[in-house]
């Protein structure tokens, strides 16, 4: 073991505030394991927090420098005195430190063993790092909306990190799935088995009606327009927190059952996601892998708003 580099922010701002700092390698407490992180997933919440936006930034403003990141995949290299779930050498993934602690953009991290899932041999470390936050958000949104067989489901932004998993989960529930995307993603969405609607061509409300469930991953005007596609008593789950109140208020006035959501880490769900990936039931799209010294480029890619699937950082 040598250095333990972290990607931290000492102040909020543009991508230039991301810096690499070295810290001592931590010792695992009794119920923890020490993980050598191979890949860390990058999520829009990391980018928003870095910029000083949203709840996690407000909570952490007096806690800087702060190590970003919630998604990790790596190898157990040391076990705490009472930790017995994983042998040394086991590959594990986790959705950790959410929302206040973070810490995922680290080369070495100690984590309570209860927050980790074993990675099946057939799943790559890259895919395991990409899936925790986005995959759990996708499943929890579909569950919160009670999507049922045969229902017509509209997912806004089906090509994104959460969206491409939500599309596959809704299809697995035998729903009829429609999703919005740009021209470059039409074939990608068709390959996942959903009907793709190019939102640049015309608003989705001019192309679709009688929708039972709206899963909104875009928010703002796109979500308000999509409400026009819904049938009476449709259900709406709006995932971006910044506009959730506005969307829920409008949807409720129109007679729909609308809720926002905040993803809640669940080891059982991560186990299920990794299992599904392992048997080929779920595909994880990774647009790019950036080395850790290019974290700024990784954040800039997310900020385009047009990432297909996920971005991960190579922490080795
Ligand atoms: N509340 C929670 O607990 C929670 C959890 C996770 C995520 N979130 C939020 O949910 C949102 C989605 O997260 P994510 O990780 O999936 O983001 P993401 O991966 O960055 O989403 C990128 C995708 O959005 C699509 N897109 C952009 N503008 C669009 C539009 N107007 N209509 C349709 N698609 C559009 C892009 O497709 P094209 O290139 O084809 O346009 C791209 O594939 C973010 O706001 C995130 O912060 C909230």
Domains in the chain, CATH or no CATH each: 5-131+284-314 (3.90.180.10), 134-260 (3.40.50.720)
Which residue bears the tokens 């922010």? 9
User: Can you give the pLDDT at residue 52?
Assistant: 96
Percentage of residues of the chain with pLDDT beyond 70: 100
Q: Is 137 in the pocket of ligand 1 (CB under 6 A)?
A: yes
User: Can you give the pLDDT at residue 222?
Assistant: 98
String of DSSP letters for 227-296: GGGEEEEEEEEE--GGGHHHHHHHHHHTT-EEEE------HHHHHHHHHHHHTTSS---EEEEEEGGGHH
Mean pLDDT in the chain? 97
| Closest C-alpha to ligand 1, atom 29 | 157
| Strands 286-291 and 310-314, sheet pairing | parallel
The answer to whether the CB of 145 falls within 8 A of the CB of 177 is: no
Q: Is 243 in the pocket of ligand 1 (CB under 6 A)?
A: no
CA distances from 255 to 88, 186, 250, 258 (A): 54, 32, 9, 9
Tokens representing residue 240 in the block = 């971006």
User: Can you give the pLDDT at residue 55?
Assistant: 84
pLDDT digits (tens, 9 = 90+) for 192-229: 999 999 999 999 999 999 999 999 999 999 999 999 99
User: Can you give the pLDDT at residue 81?
Assistant: 98
User: Can you give the pLDDT at residue 151?
Assistant: 98
pLDDT band, residue 54 (cuts 50/70/90) = confident
pLDDT digits (tens, 9 = 90+) for 143-183: 999 999 999 999 999 999 999 999 999 999 999 999 999 99
pLDDT digits (tens, 9 = 90+) for 227-247: 999 999 999 999 999 999 999
| Closest C-alpha to ligand 1, atom 25 | 157
Q: Is 261 in the pocket of ligand 1 (CB under 6 A)?
A: yes
User: Can you give the pLDDT at residue 2?
Assistant: 72
Q: Is 163 in the pocket of ligand 1 (CB under 6 A)?
A: yes
| Phi, psi for 219 (deg, rounded to 5) | 80, -170
SS3 label, residue 77 = strand
Residues 6+ apart with CB under 8 A from 205: 225, 226, 228, 229
Tokens representing residue 53 in the block = 């936006």
Percentage of residues of the chain with pLDDT beyond 90: 97
User: Can you give the pLDDT at residue 1?
Assistant: 54
Q: Is 181 in the pocket of ligand 1 (CB under 6 A)?
A: yes
Question: Closest by alpha carbon to 217, among 226, 208, 229, 205?
Answer: 226
């Amino acid at each position: 073991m040598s250095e333990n580099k972290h990607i931290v922010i000492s102040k909020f701002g543009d991508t230039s505030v991301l810096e690499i700092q070295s810290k001592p390698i931590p010792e695992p407490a009794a119920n923890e394991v020490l993980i050598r992180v191979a890949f860390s997933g990058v999520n829009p919440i990391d980018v928003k927090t870095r910029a000083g936006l949203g709840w996690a930034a407000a909570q952490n403003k007096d806690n800087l420098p702060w190590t970003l990141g919630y998604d990790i995949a790596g190898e157990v290299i040391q076990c705490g005195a009472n930790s017995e779930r994983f042998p040394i050498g086991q590959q594990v993934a986790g959705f950790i430190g959410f929302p206040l602690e973070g810490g995922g953009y680290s080369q070495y991290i100690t984590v309570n063993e209860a927050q980790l899932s074993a990675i099946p041999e057939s799943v790559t470390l890259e895919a395991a790092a990409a899936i925790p936050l986005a995959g759990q958000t996708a499943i929890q949104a579909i569950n919160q909306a009670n999507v049922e067989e045969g229902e017509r489901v509209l997912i806004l932004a089906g090509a994104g990190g959460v969206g491409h998993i939500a599309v596959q989960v809704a299809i697995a529930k035998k729903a009829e799935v429609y999703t919005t995307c740009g021209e470059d993603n039409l074939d990608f969405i068709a390959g996942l088995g959903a009907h793709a609607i190019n939102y640049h061509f015309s608003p989705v409300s001019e192309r679709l009606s009688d929708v039972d469930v709206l899963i909104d991953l875009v928010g703002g005007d796109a979500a308000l327009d999509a409400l026009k596609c819904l049938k009476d008593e449709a259900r709406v789950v709006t995932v971006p927190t910044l506009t959730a109140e506005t969307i829920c208020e409008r949807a409720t006035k129109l007679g729909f059952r609308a809720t926002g959501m905040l993803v809640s880490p669940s080891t059982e769900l991560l186990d299920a996601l990794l299992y599904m990936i392992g048997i080929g039931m779920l595909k994880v799209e990774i647009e790019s892998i950036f080395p850790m010294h290019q974290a700024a480029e990784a954040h800039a890619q997310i900020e385009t708003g047009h990432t297909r699937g996920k971005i991960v950082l190579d922490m080795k």
